[in-house]
């Protein structure tokens, strides 16, 4: 039976478009380790310009983007970084900042909107007078949009406040901006204004922007020079990398403009799901939707996920009562309607069993 | 003035061919982190099969391939790895196995042919259980072909003997096989036989094979599973990576057969250079595609000057010492390029002679 597949597991599943494939096939390339690949240089300069930073560096993944950023800011033994207890770097990057980079994490509670309380951040900064037993705080990391909180946006005002706090204590500020363009579009704030307070930002091209591979780190020239060296050490120095960065340049052009529509689709889906008895959807700001399965439905997330899969709807099981879906430009409005009808079908069993 | 460029700095400069570009454009892809990109899977399986190992893993670079291999074999704290004092891992990988991986290097002298004395290797093995001040040796690394020693080949007999030493002492053996295909072709030994004794091999696709990006690590299923996780940790987990693997698959098909001709061009160039007064090449040590050139003292020039002079003619090469140059041949250097390069070398050296009133 031919099933229509609607892949809502992540915005990383986006496949390269015809225009991207054509760009990759004709990309101008050079050895980016021996010299500079011209297409990589173009992409790095473009992203740096858009972010209002001095320079950029293309890396194979967001994980490497964050790893390099943290390790470059924390380049002295005995460093500590303050970050959210529910942030991607802390939860989903294999603890690499510690296991690979020797940096100690100090977590501060993430609120449901993705922020951390400013006083809690400040309280977590280590007092140099205690240095005999303390590591040295070097860096604060924010994440915008905040994935685990449901793609929530950190405002420019909040970001600026954290930036001031960092400056006051002579710390750096890094933004995990994997989905920073989603934040910028949702808030209606130019992306360079949004990240103005940050010393560095890591930006994913392979998520909603739709490129096949990669992220770009942006920061000062001296930061990027160090980052380039660390990238080589980690093994991220690729040769004729222009074949990938060409696709990213197309992605920037084609898909930033489509993010607003991804947010609309997410809201449409969320509204539809919220109307189904037994499901409750957290507020949606961008392209990520978290679905709580209410107790009264007596259905596990696993059961619903499996049921959906049989109809070609792919989603992510987060826990026994929580499911996540992520919208992207290769999900159409008709896909959203189809997904809604499949969800309705899937929960009907639970609704009927309870005589609802 | 349009200058003819002959780029002999490295075989990494190879650009993707039309067929590779077409393959990149048509590649079937998937999210290689969430599941498996089908083209990556195809490449990894193909490489594993060619190397006679259970599984493979595509990585962005040879540096990452070696880093992952060393760190997976040396996953317990307090590990030590034995490797050549002049090996690529020790010299040109930013000391990453230590600074990133916490593994201690124990170097053993590389001989001119790229080998290390078996007794010296054995003497370097240590166990922290025997002596409280020792780390524990976990791994021996070989490099084939050996880059810094002029692309020399390690024979299958030598590799097997090192493998036996490793087994005898409960150690693993990793081969930095960035240019393993060059070795296989030059020795006339099938590549799987050549690396039979190794627990893991890292193979570059972006060098003589000419792909734009990447290497593949091969080893046992369990080794590769751990390697995949470490690759993610280091940030090498790429999404629709099939676009790069498609090019690599074409490279394997198109350029493997051309390596022999790269070696012929290297011998041609080496012989010609050796005949130039003021230059000396140990032609008997040119086994594959790498040539080291000594500048004789009486020539009155140094490597830096000769490099600059040659660059004016469009000949790009690498300075590796005050009086030492390196050239590397690859499939995008033609025989006519080789002749042109020879004539430029001659002119450049003559030019110096002129300046020195010779």
Would you state the pLDDT for residue A111?
Answer: 97
Task: Give the mean model confidence (pLDDT) for residues B270-276.
Answer: 97
Segment 110-139 of chain B within 8 Å of chain A by CB:
none
Rounded to whole angstroms, the Cα distance separating B7 from B79 reads 40
Of all residues in chain A, the one with the smallest CA distance to B215 is A238
Chain centre to alpha carbon of residue A174:
13
> Which ipTM was obtained for this model?
0.89
Contacts of B29 in chain A (CB under 8 A): 15-16, 212
Q: Find chain A residues with C-beta within 8 A of B59's C-beta.
A: 235
Is the CB of residue B164 less than 8 Å away from at least one CB of chain A?
no
pLDDT above 60: residue B1: no
Return the residue in A234, A245, A309, A317 with the most chain B beta carbons within 10 A, the one to mutate for interface testing: A234
What's the average model confidence in pLDDT over A251-259?
Answer: 97
Of the candidate ranges A321-325, B130-134, B226-230, B286-290, the one whose mean pLDDT is the lowest: B130-134
Q: Please give the Cα distance from A136 to A75 (Å, whole number).
A: 11
Q: Does residue A142 have a pLDDT over 80?
A: yes
Best of B13, B28, B60, B92 to substitute, by most chain A Cβ atoms within 10 angstroms, is B60
Q: What is the pLDDT of residue A38?
A: 98
Please state whether the predicted TM-score (pTM) of the whole model is above 0.90: yes
Instruction: Determine whether the interchain pair A24/B243 forms a contact, defined as Cβ–Cβ distance below 8 Å.
Output: yes
- Among A66-80, A158-172, B294-308, which is the least confidently predicted range? B294-308
Predicted confidence at residue B297, as pLDDT, reads 86
Cα–Cα distance for residue pair A14/A8, rounded to 1 Å: 10
Nearest to A227, CA basis, from A31, A105, A29, A55: A55
Q: How far is A60 from chain B, CA to nearest CA, in Å?
A: 6
Q: What is the largest CA-CA distance in chain B?
A: 68
From the list A13, A234, A241, which residue is nearest B64 (CB)? A234
Query: Hey, is the C-beta of B217 within 8 angstroms of any chain A C-beta?
Result: no
Q: Which residue of B9, B34, B229 is in closest CB contact with A12?
A: B34
Q: Which residues of A312-350 are buried (b: 16+ CB within 10 A; e: fewer)?
A: bbbbbbeeebebbbbbbbbbeeebbebbbebbeebbeeb
B104: pLDDT confidence band, cut at 50, 70 and 90?
A: very high
- The predicted model gives B211-219 an average pLDDT of 98
Say whether pLDDT at B351 is over 70. yes
CB contact under 8 A, A24 and B10: no
Q: Which of A25, A96, A238 sits opposite B233 (nearest CB)?
A: A96
Nearest chain B CA: its distance from A106 CA (Å): 19
| Averaged pLDDT, B330-341 | 97
- Reply yes or no on whether the pLDDT at A354 is more than 60: no
User: Tokens standing for B311?
Assistant: 């660059």
Q: How confident is the model at residue B358 (pLDDT cuts 50, 70, 90)?
A: low
pLDDT at A281: 97
pLDDT at residue A355 is higher than 60: no
CB contact under 8 A, A100 and B100: yes
State the maximum Cα–Cα separation within chain A, in Å, rounded to a whole number: 70
Per-residue confidence (pLDDT) for residue B301, from 0 to 100: 84
Q: How far is B30 from chain A (nearest CA, A)?
A: 7
HSE-CB of B111 using CA atoms within 13 angstroms: 12
Q: Do the beta carbons of residue B167 and residue B126 sit within 8 Å?
A: no
Do B233 and A100 lie within an 8 Å CB cutoff? Answer: yes
Indicate the residue of A15, A99, A229 with minimum beta-carbon distance to B240.
Answer: A15
Contact A202, A63 (CB under 8 A): no
pLDDT mean over A264-274: 97
d(CA A280, CA A273): 7
User: Is 60 exceeded by the pLDDT of residue B246?
Assistant: yes
Confidence tier at A3 by pLDDT (50, 70, 90):
confident
Strands (E), chain B: 6-7, 55-59, 79-84, 104-108, 136-143, 172-177, 200-204, 215-219, 279-280, 290-295, 315-316, 318-321, 324-328
- pLDDT at residue A352, as a whole number: 65
Supply the pLDDT for residue B128: 83
Closest by Cβ to A238, choosing from B15, B61, B101: B61
Q: Which residue of A has its CA nearest to B103?
A: A100
CB A37 within 8 A of CB A245: yes
Mean pLDDT of B61-70: 98
Q: What digits encode the pLDDT tens for the residues A81-114?
A: 999 999 999 999 999 999 999 999 999 999 999 9
Residue-by-residue DSSP string for B70-99? HHHHT-STTEEEEEETT-HHHHHSTTHHHH
Strand order in the sheet with A136-143: A55-59, A215-219, A200-204, A172-177, A136-143, A79-84, A104-108
B215: helix, strand or coil: strand
């Amino acid at each position: 039976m031919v099933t229509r597949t609607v892949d809502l597991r992540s915005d990383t599943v986006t496949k390269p478009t015809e225009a991207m494939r054509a760009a990759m096939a004709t990309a101008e390339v050079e050895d980016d380790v021996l010299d500079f690949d011209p297409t990589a240089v173009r992409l790095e300069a473009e992203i740096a310009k858009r972010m209002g930073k001095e320079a950029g560096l293309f890396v194979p993944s967001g994980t490497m983007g964050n790893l390099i950023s943290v390790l470059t800011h924390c380049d002295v033994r005995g460093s500590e970084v303050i970050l959210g207890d529910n942030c991607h770097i802390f939860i989903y990057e294999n603890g690499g900042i510690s296991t690979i980079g020797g940096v100690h994490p100090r977590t501060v509670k993430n609120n449901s909107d993705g922020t951390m309380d400013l006083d809690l951040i400040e309280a977590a900064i280590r007092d140099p007078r205690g240095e005999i037993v303390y590591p040295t705080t070097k860096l604060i990391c924010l994440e915008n949009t905040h994935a685990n909180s449901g793609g929530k946006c950190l405002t420019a005002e909040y970001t600026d406040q954290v930036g001031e706090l960092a400056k006051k204590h002579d710390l750096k500020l890094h933004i995990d901006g994997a989905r920073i363009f989603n934040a910028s579009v949702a808030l209606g704030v130019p992306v360079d204004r949004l990240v103005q307070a940050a010393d560095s930002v890591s930006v994913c091209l392979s998520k909603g922007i739709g490129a096949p591979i990669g992220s770009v780190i942006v920061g000062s020239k001296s930061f990027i020079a160090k980052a380039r060296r660390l990238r080589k050490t980690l093994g991220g120095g690729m040769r004729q990398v222009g074949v990938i960065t060409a696709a990213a340049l197309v992605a920037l052009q084609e898909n930033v403009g489509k993010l607003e529509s991804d947010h609309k689709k997410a809201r449409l889906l969320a509204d539809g799901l919220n109307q189904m008895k037994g499901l409750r959807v957290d507020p949606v700001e961008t392209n990520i939707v978290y679905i709580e399965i209410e107790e009264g439905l007596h259905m596990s997330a696993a059961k619903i996920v499996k049921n959906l899969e049989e109809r070609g709807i792919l989603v992510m099981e987060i826990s026994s009562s929580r499911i996540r879906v992520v919208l992207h430009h290769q999900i159409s409005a008709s896909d959203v309607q189809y997904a809604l009808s499949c969800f309705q079908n899937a929960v009907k069993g639970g609704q009927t069993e309870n005589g609802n | 003035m349009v200058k003819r460029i002959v780029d002999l700095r490295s075989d990494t400069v190879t650009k993707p061919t039309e067929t590779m570009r077409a393959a990149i454009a048509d590649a079937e892809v998937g999210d290689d982190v969430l599941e498996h990109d089908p083209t990556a899977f195809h490449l990894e399986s193909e490489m594993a099969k060619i190397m006679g190992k259970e599984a493979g893993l595509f990585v962005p670079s040879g540096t990452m391939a070696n880093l992952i291999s060393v760190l997976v074999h040396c996953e317990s704290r307090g590990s030590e790895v034995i490797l050549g004092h002049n090996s690529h891992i020790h010299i040109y990988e930013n000391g990453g196995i230590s600074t990133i991986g916490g593994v201690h290097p124990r170097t053993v002298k590389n001989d001119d042919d790229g080998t290390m004395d078996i007794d010296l290797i054995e003497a370097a093995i240590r166990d922290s259980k025997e002596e409280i001040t020792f780390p524990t040796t976990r791994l021996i690394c070989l490099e084939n072909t050996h880059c810094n020693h002029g692309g020399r080949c390690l024979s299958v007999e030598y590799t097997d003997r090192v493998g036996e030493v490793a087994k005898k002492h409960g150690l693993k053996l990793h081969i930095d096989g960035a240019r393993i295909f060059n070795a296989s072709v030059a020795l006339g030994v099938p590549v799987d036989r050549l690396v039979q004794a190794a627990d893991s091999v890292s193979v570059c696709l972006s060098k003589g094979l000419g792909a734009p990006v990447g290497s593949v690590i091969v080893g046992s299923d369990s080794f590769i599973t751990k390697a995949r996780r470490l690759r993610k940790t280091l940030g090498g987990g790429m999404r629709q990576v099939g676009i790069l693997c498609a090019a690599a698959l074409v490279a394997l098909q198109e350029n493997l057969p051309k390596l022999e001709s790269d070696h012929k061009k290297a011998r041609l160039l080496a012989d010609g250079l050796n005949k130039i007064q003021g230059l000396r090449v140990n032609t008997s040590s040119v086994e594959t595609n790498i040539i080291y050139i000594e500048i004789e003292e009486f020539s009155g020039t140094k490597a830096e000057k000769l490099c600059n002079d040659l660059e004016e003619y469009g000949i790009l090469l690498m300075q590796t010492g005050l009086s030492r140059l390196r050239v590397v041949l690859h499939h995008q250097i033609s025989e006519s390029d080789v002749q042109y390069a020879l004539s430029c070398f001659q002119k450049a050296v003559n030019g110096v002679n002129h300046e020195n009133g010779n």
